[in-house]
Amino acid sequence: MEGNIAQMGQFIGAGLAAIGSGAAAIGVGHVAGNFLAGALRNPSAAAGQTATLFIGIAFAEALGIFSFLVALLLMFAV
Amino acid sequence: MAEEAKGGGLEFHPMDQFIIKPLFGDAGDQVGMFTITNATFWMAAAILAIAALMILGTRGRAVVPTRTQSVAELAYGFVYKMVEDVAGKDGLKYFPYIMTLFLFILFSNFLGLIPMSFTTTSHIAVTAILAMAVFLAVTILGFVKNGASFLGLFWVSSAPLALRPILALIELISYFVRPVSHSIRLAGNMMAGHAVLKVFAGFAQVAAVAPIAIFGVVAIYGLEVLVSAIQAYVFTILTCVYLKDALHPSH
């Protein structure tokens, strides 16, 4: 065992921040699933909405990226 | 240490592929601002590949397109339609820039999938420059086109009056984190995907799980091809969305 307690806190914090990535995954799945549910009800309108789908996914993912950023900062910058 | 216990141990670290090395001279040499590194090489390769596709593809200008020409036409038409749909007719003036962004990111992502190659877009230094260029261009464009009324982007006129200052603050924050999320989305996806590939490749040298690991690598590689294309698409379409906000700032 080596290292100090501050480093341990850093690693635990980075691991906790990684939970946010899972939360973002739930959000992205929700967007995609709802799109599919709507698309199967009205397939003719679905093709025009794929751009909206990707924009929605990108915005849902953005907040997961911030938790990833926090994890990166804790691992390498603090 | 856990890897060594499995026998043999990992001979490489999954993150080793992202190290920037000078192309000429020793591996330990100092990397300066103008040193030619593997990142420089693979960026140049992406540019050359795009130039080759576009120049060779459009050289014949045949009515019945050859394979190269139809790929070039498909790429052009795809991005053109995306700009037209998302940013509107007046966004088409900025189509060349968006096309450049899309092709550069797409080709960098795909070239990074060649074994032993280097993914330039997995570095935040590269994607941050791309995202900051978009952010600055869009902000300046918004003020040039709309003057002070560009600030209407932050003033949600459809909301109740009491809520508007709070919403303005939220909108302001979300405006300024755009380049952050824009760049880290691309770099993070590329880096994570390629690291996963290398981790699975590392499992392949453990005899007990090697067959599963090789199928895993193939499956993840297929997924990575998809992710490469989707991330290039997402980066481009977000650029179009930001451009639309700059051209038509009202809510």
pLDDT given at position B28: 67
**What are the tens digits of pLDDT across the range A8-67?**
888 899 999 989 989 999 999 999 999 999 999 998 888 888 888 988 888 888 888 888
Residues of chain A positioned with their CB less than 8 A from the CB of B176: none
pLDDT given at position B78: 93
Side-chain-side CA neighbours of B73 within 13 Å: the count stands at 13
Residues of chain B positioned with their CB less than 8 A from the CB of A67: none
Residues of chain A positioned with their CB less than 8 A from the CB of B180: 65-66, 69
Query: How many Cβ atoms are within 10 Å of A65's Cβ, its own excluded?
Result: 24
Say which range, B6-10, B65-69, B211-215, has the weakest mean pLDDT: B6-10
With CB atoms and an 8 Å threshold, state whether A58 touches B82.
Answer: no
State the sign of the Cα–Cα–Cα–Cα dihedral B113, B117, B123, B128. negative
Band (pLDDT 50/70/90 cuts) for residue B1 is: very low
Residue with the bigger pLDDT between B143 and A62: it is B143
A→B contacts (Cβ < 8 Å), by residue, are 51, 54-55, 57-58, 61-62, 65-66, 68-69
* C-alpha to C-alpha distances, A20 to A71, B122, B211, nearest whole angstrom: 10, 21, 33
With CB atoms and an 8 Å threshold, state whether B237 touches A68.
Answer: no
pTM equals 0.85
Share of chain B above pLDDT 90, in %: 40
Given a cut of 70, is residue B6 above it in pLDDT? no
Measured distance between the N- and C-terminal CA atoms of chain B, rounded to whole angstroms? 56
Q: Which helix (H) or strand (E) holds A78?
A: none
Q: Which residue of B has its CA nearest to A60?
A: B181
Cα R_g (chain B), whole angstroms: 22
Cα R_g (chain A), whole angstroms: 18
Which of A51, A55, A62 shows the shortest C-beta gap to B185?
A62
SS (H, E, C) chain B: CHHHHCCCCCCCCHHHHHCCCECCCCCCCCCCCCCCEHHHHHHHHHHHHHHHHHHHHHHCCCCCCCHHHHHHHHHHHHHHHHHHHHHCHHHHHHHHHHHHHHHHHHHHHHHCCCCCCCCHHHCHHHHHHHHHHHHHHHHHHHHHHHHHHHHHHCCCCCCCHHHHHHHHHHHHHHHHCHHHHHHHHHHHHHHHHHHHHHHHHHHCCCHHHHHHHHHHHHHHHHHHHHHHHHHHHHHHHHHHHHHHHHHCCCC
**What are the tens digits of pLDDT across the range B97-142?**
999 999 999 999 999 998 888 899 999 899 999 999 999 999 999 9
Asked if residue B134 lies in contact with residue B235, where contact means CB atoms within 8 angstroms, the answer is: no
Given a cut of 70, is residue B251 above it in pLDDT? no
Using CA atoms, how far apart are residues B26 and B49, in angstroms rounded to an integer?
A: 28
Asked if residue B102 lies in contact with residue B161, where contact means CB atoms within 8 angstroms, the answer is: no
Q: How far is A41 from chain B (nearest CA, A)?
A: 23
Residues of chain A positioned with their CB less than 8 A from the CB of B185: 58, 61-62, 65
